[in-house]
Amino acid sequence: MLTRLFALITKELLASARDRQTRFIILIAPPFLLLIYVFAITQDVTNLSIGVVNRDEGRFSREILDRVSASPRFRSVTYFEDADALARAIDEQAVLVGLRIQSDFSRRILRGQGAELQILLDGRRSNAAQIVSGYVLRIVQDYNVELMQSVGQALPATVLSRTWFNANSAPLWAATPALFAVLSAIVGFMVSALSVARERELGTFEQLLVSPLTPVEILIGKTLPALLIALASSAVMLAFSYLILNVPIRGNLAALFLAMIAFLLSIIGIGLFISSLVRTQQQAVIGLFVYMIPAVLLSGYATPVENMPGWLQIVAQSNPITHFIVISKAVFLRDAPGLVIWAHSWPLLLIALVTLSAGTWLFNRRLA
Amino acid sequence: MSRQAAPGRFNARRVRGLIRKEVRQVLRDPSNFVVAIILPALLLFLFGYGVTLDPRHYELGLVIEQPTAETGSLAAAFTNSPFFEVQIAQDRRQLEPALVAGDLHALVVVPAAASARAYGGQTAPIQVIVDGSDPNTANLVLGYVELLWANWLEQQSIGHGGMIAPPPISIEHRVWFNPELASRNYLVPGSIAIILTLIGSLLTALVIAREWERGTMEALLATPINVAELLIGKLAPYFLLGMASMALSTVLAVTVFGVPLRGSIWVLTLISAVYMLASLGQGLLISTLTRNQLVASQVSILSAFLPAFYFSDFVFEIDSMPVALQWVSYIVPARYFVSSLQTVFLAGDIWPVILPDTAALGLVSAVIFTVTLMRTRTRLD
């Protein structure tokens, strides 16, 4: 039995290695996707254009606008004559944020009456808008503190912030572990789902069935090569992240790989399940989309899981990508203790058990 | 160069016949319905309910080293805030492991001497430690902590009858088009672009690549049909499928998800039609060049689906990307479509946005179709 299995695994690996296109899709494309898209998913909001209407002629408005212009977060500051021109610029998406300062701004500050700075945000891009208003708020608060200190007053308290794990808030560091997890999942899924579908479409699957291999052996013979290929692809991506993107890997690499085996097995289980369901490669690709899009969107990859409604959070907990993103971030950036990794690894093992059994069950049923 | 047998003049009957055959083929394969109906509904549902960038419930650890009346009012401000889920401790060592495990987004530390310093005319530092492994969330949390602190200061100033001066400058926010800052309002319109990309590029590329793979395309080319008729006959069913999907998505967006549609239906239809053309052209070009389903699916994922997702301002900010990638985004048709979609839904028919977008989309489709026509013709020789 072992020899037969070994032969099948060798055949699968050779088949994948021989085909130039498959080789490219599996081993070369994912690391390069990682390199390109990691820059695209940097959610750090910078380079924004800001529009200003300043009616005030005093020094306070000038000083505060100088600080806004000096901030590296904003690419350009455009001055507008009146509120209507600013409104048009926001409408036409020429600027994302507008600042309006009334003519009595400096006078009110001098009189101690408190002045108001109005921020106009484009709700079409509400996420960026909120982050920008945070930046402006921080500039204004710093300025407030200085103003009060300059006249001998002190604020009762100030906020000092510190960022852990990613001291410069480097967006690349945050994006890489998540993208790495998603791309590993895509490779694992593609290799397993398409391999069976292609054999079915080409008719070689029947040949496999009439061979002395039992269905379980065929499944193992499809699972293990997929696992090896996906692991190899992930190893290349890890090397790229470390060597080219300079993302630190602070945690235990062995633990990451162990967790990755559980993760890939659960993904391969789903891939085998879908490949038993479909008849052609085209349907397998559609299956890939129907599974991967929700799985990626509900994984906390682009948006935090805790923002989802309660019942969707439960769905997210049964999603292997959710757990592996947590593990990946924990190992890359936080050097989290083994207990944290284990807390997200046992759900992966459980999911792998469920998906592999479901895959086997459907596979056997379709054979009958 | 020998041309195909009898190109003849454009023949409406031939085209109708081809369209009928194509429609039957589309209707026969259930996986087309998955792409045209189930996938759009799923995407709208996910972007409507599941995926949200709205501010809500950040997990916050609050360390108050020495509780006093003032720290009590600050703690109350945090616990009463709708943005935070607060755990309180007296020693930061109790909460630091939770930050390392990723269970907390931020840790706020109010040091022991805070109250004494604050009322001795000094400034007490409140320390905020944020988890930088997600800088976006870290920035938002920090923003909310600062906002809360600023509000608390103002209250303190009122409460102490002017003993503590109010901060000289306060901020007033106004959000246009989407006052409640619901990310759903721009994610749902944006997902229409993803849906049309899936139908236009992926499905079309797969279907036509299969025809090449099986050799039925060659058989079709041997008939008296000319290239224009072939393109219209092949693409019309998918164009209609895409427009139907767009109509379904719009109805769902407005009725189920409550996204406003402030512009006109006609403008929406027009830009969708132009985008659909660009997308179909791309799918056709991919299938003509690859002639293989597996490769066609890969190429359309890489060149159409992923760019539509990433380089369109749909979720990720183009302005924040490196300059080289910003340039790449200019050749991604979805970029123009998403900007027009969000404007038509949330702001209205703002022509200075819509006209340049439509023109750019028209240009992209013209280029793609010219290249496809040239490629298809050479293949006929």
**Minimum Cα–Cα distance from B353: chain A residue:** A92
Q: Chain B contacts of A343, Cβ < 8 Å?
A: 101
Q: How far is B341 from B51, CA to CA, in rounded Å?
A: 19
CA distance B276 to chain A (A): 19
> B140 and A131 in contact by Cβ < 8 A?
yes
Q: Chain B contacts of A68, Cβ < 8 Å?
A: none
pLDDT in tens, B211-224: 887 778 777 777 77
CA distance A32 to chain B (A): 11
A107, A144, A159, A332, best to mutate vs chain B, most B CBs in 10 Å: A159
Residues A316-330: what's their mean pLDDT? 89
Both B281 and B356 in one domain: the answer is: yes
Task: Name the pLDDT band for A164 (thresholds 50, 70, 90).
Answer: low
Q: How far is A336 from A87, CA to CA, in rounded Å?
A: 48
> A330 and B202 in contact by Cβ < 8 A?
no
Residue position matching structure tokens 């008729």: B229
Q: What is the pLDDT of residue B3?
A: 42
Both B143 and B233 in one domain: the answer is: no
Nearest to B169 among A144, A162, A280 (CB): A144
Residues B142-167: what's their mean pLDDT? 70
Furthest C-alpha separation in chain B: 97
Quick check: B308 pLDDT over 90? Answer: no
Is residue B174 domain-resident? no
Q: What is the pLDDT of residue B326?
A: 83
Q: How far is A132 from A246, CA to CA, in rounded Å?
A: 28
Q: Chain B contacts of A123, Cβ < 8 Å?
A: 175-179, 181, 185-186, 346
Quick check: A9 pLDDT over 50? Answer: yes
Q: What is the pLDDT of residue B186?
A: 80
Nearest to A47 among B50, B53, B319 (CB): B319
Whole-number Cα distances in Å, B329 to A171, B102, B281, B347, B366: 20, 34, 18, 23, 18
Is residue B1 domain-resident? no
pLDDT in tens, B23-79: 887 777 777 778 778 888 888 888 877 766 665 678 888 988 888 877 788 888 888
**Do A327 and A221 form a contact (C-beta atoms < 8 A)?**
no
Q: Chain A contacts of B185, Cβ < 8 Å?
A: 123, 126
Q: How far is A23 from B171, CA to CA, in rounded Å?
A: 56
Quick check: B266 pLDDT over 90? Answer: yes
Both B67 and B115 in one domain: the answer is: yes
CA distance A230 to chain B (A): 17
A32, A130, A329, best to mutate vs chain B, most B CBs in 10 Å: A130
Both B154 and B216 in one domain: the answer is: no
DSSP A157-173: EEEEEEEESSTT--HHH
> A43 and B136 in contact by Cβ < 8 A?
yes
Quick check: A108 pLDDT over 70? Answer: yes
Both B123 and B261 in one domain: the answer is: no
Number of H helices, E strands in chain A: 15, 5
Strand partners, A163: B130
A32, A45, A286, best to mutate vs chain B, most B CBs in 10 Å: A286
Residue position matching structure tokens 């997990």: B59
**Minimum Cα–Cα distance from A32: chain B residue:** B302
> A159 and B130 in contact by Cβ < 8 A?
no
Q: How many domains does chain B have?
A: 2
> B126 and A160 in contact by Cβ < 8 A?
yes
Residue A158, amino acid: T
Q: What is the pLDDT of residue B165?
A: 61
Number of H helices, E strands in chain B: 17, 5
Looking only at the bridges linking them, the beta strands covering B124-131 and B106-110 are antiparallel
Q: What is the pLDDT of residue B219?
A: 79
Q: Which of B214, B202, B215 is CA-nearest to residue B242?
A: B202
Residues A174-201: what's their mean pLDDT? 84
CA distance A43 to chain B (A): 6
Q: Chain B contacts of A174, Cβ < 8 Å?
A: 132-136
Domain boundary among the residues B103, B126, B159 is at B159
**Minimum Cα–Cα distance from A299: chain B residue:** B51
Domain that holds residue B132: 58-159
Higher pLDDT, A20 or B204: B204
> B168 and A45 in contact by Cβ < 8 A?
no
Quick check: B88 pLDDT over 60? Answer: yes
**Do B300 and B205 form a contact (C-beta atoms < 8 A)?**
yes
Q: What is the ipTM of this complex?
A: 0.73
**Do A191 and A226 form a contact (C-beta atoms < 8 A)?**
yes
CA B340 to chain centre: 13
Residues B363-377: what's their mean pLDDT? 83
**Minimum Cα–Cα distance from A176: chain B residue:** B133
Q: How far is B26 from B22, CA to CA, in rounded Å?
A: 6
Instruction: Provide φ and ψ at A249, rounded to 5°.
Output: -115, 95
Tokens of B287: 């299938």
DSSP code of residue A123: G
pLDDT in tens, A68-102: 888 877 878 889 988 889 888 888 888 888 888 88
Both B136 and B72 in one domain: the answer is: yes
Residue B24: CA atoms inside 13 Å, Cβ hemisphere, count?
Answer: 5
Q: How far is B379 from B359, CA to CA, in rounded Å?
A: 30
Higher pLDDT, A226 or B374: A226
CA distance B10 to chain A (A): 32
Q: How far is A198 from A280, CA to CA, in rounded Å?
A: 7
Task: Name the pLDDT band for B381 (thresholds 50, 70, 90).
Answer: very low
Nearest to B100 among A40, A158, A336 (CB): A336
Both B270 and B363 in one domain: the answer is: yes
A167-181, A231-245, A280-294: which has the minimum mean pLDDT? A167-181
Is residue B166 domain-resident? no
Residue position matching structure tokens 């769902």: B252
Both B81 and B40 in one domain: the answer is: no
**Minimum Cα–Cα distance from B171: chain A residue:** A117
Nearest to B133 among A162, A174, A312 (CB): A174
Higher pLDDT, A191 or A127: A191
CA distance A214 to chain B (A): 28
Q: How many A-B residue pairs are in contact by the CB < 8 A criterion?
A: 351
Both B230 and B363 in one domain: the answer is: yes
Collapsing DSSP states into helix, strand and coil, what is residue A120?
strand
Q: How far is B300 from B282, CA to CA, in rounded Å?
A: 8
> A21 and B292 in contact by Cβ < 8 A?
yes
Q: What is the pLDDT of residue A266?
A: 94
Nearest to A137 among B47, B147, B207 (CB): B147
Is residue B219 domain-resident? yes
Quick check: B166 pLDDT over 70? Answer: no
The C-alpha torsion from A25 through A30 and A31 to A35, rounded to 10°, is 130
Ordered by where they begin, the domains of chain A are 2-41+172-367 (no CATH), 48-150 (3.40.1710.10)
Both B234 and B331 in one domain: the answer is: yes
**Contacts for A304-312 with beta carbons within 8 Å, 24 or more apart?**
A304/B134, A304/B137, A306/B56, A306/B57, A306/B58, A306/B59, A307/B52, A307/B53, A307/B54, A307/B56, A307/B57, A308/B49, A308/B50, A308/B51, A308/B52, A309/B49, A309/B50, A312/B49, A312/B50
Q: Chain B contacts of A333, Cβ < 8 Å?
A: 132-133
Both B137 and B260 in one domain: the answer is: no
Give the burial class of A2: count Cβ atoms within 10 A of its Cβ; 0-12 exposed, 13-18 middle, 19 or more buried: exposed
**Do B200 and B279 form a contact (C-beta atoms < 8 A)?**
yes
DSSP B36-83: IIIHHHHHHHIIIII-------EEEEEEESS--HHHHHHHHHHHH-TT
> B174 and A44 in contact by Cβ < 8 A?
no
Higher pLDDT, B372 or A43: B372
Nearest to A42 among B182, B294, B321 (CB): B321
> A44 and B136 in contact by Cβ < 8 A?
yes
Residues B91-108: what's their mean pLDDT? 82
CA distance A5 to chain B (A): 27
Both B22 and B93 in one domain: the answer is: no
Q: Chain B contacts of A47, Cβ < 8 Å?
A: 319-320
Q: What is the pLDDT of residue A349?
A: 93
> A118 and B121 in contact by Cβ < 8 A?
no
Task: Name the pLDDT band for B275 (thresholds 50, 70, 90).
Answer: very high
Is residue B270 domain-resident? yes
> B346 and A93 in contact by Cβ < 8 A?
no
Mean predicted lDDT score pLDDT of chain B: 80
Is residue B39 domain-resident? yes
Mean predicted lDDT score pLDDT of chain A: 82
**Do B71 and B111 form a contact (C-beta atoms < 8 A)?**
no
> A194 and B294 in contact by Cβ < 8 A?
yes
> B352 and A333 in contact by Cβ < 8 A?
no
Q: In what order do the strands lie in the sheet with A48-54?
A: A74-79, A48-54, A97-101, A115-122, B169-176
CA distance A139 to chain B (A): 11
Furthest C-alpha separation in chain A: 93
Percent of the residues in chain B that have a pLDDT greater than 70, as a whole number: 83
Quick check: A154 pLDDT over 80? Answer: no
Quick check: B116 pLDDT over 90? Answer: no
CATH at B103: 3.40.1710.10
Nearest to A164 among B131, B167, B176 (CB): B131
pLDDT in tens, A256-293: 999 999 999 999 999 988 888 888 777 888 888 888 88
> B317 and A128 in contact by Cβ < 8 A?
yes
> B133 and A329 in contact by Cβ < 8 A?
yes
Q: How far is A199 from B280, CA to CA, in rounded Å?
A: 29
**Minimum Cα–Cα distance from B37: chain A residue:** A290
Is residue B9 domain-resident? no
**Minimum Cα–Cα distance from B38: chain A residue:** A290
The C-alpha torsion from B254 through B259 and B262 to B268, rounded to 10°, is -60
Nearest to B127 among A162, A290, A303 (CB): A162
**Do A93 and A122 form a contact (C-beta atoms < 8 A)?**
yes
CA distance A176 to chain B (A): 10
Task: Name the pLDDT band for B174 (thresholds 50, 70, 90).
Answer: low
Quick check: B7 pLDDT over 80? Answer: no
Quick check: B131 pLDDT over 70? Answer: yes
Q: What is the pLDDT of residue B4?
A: 43
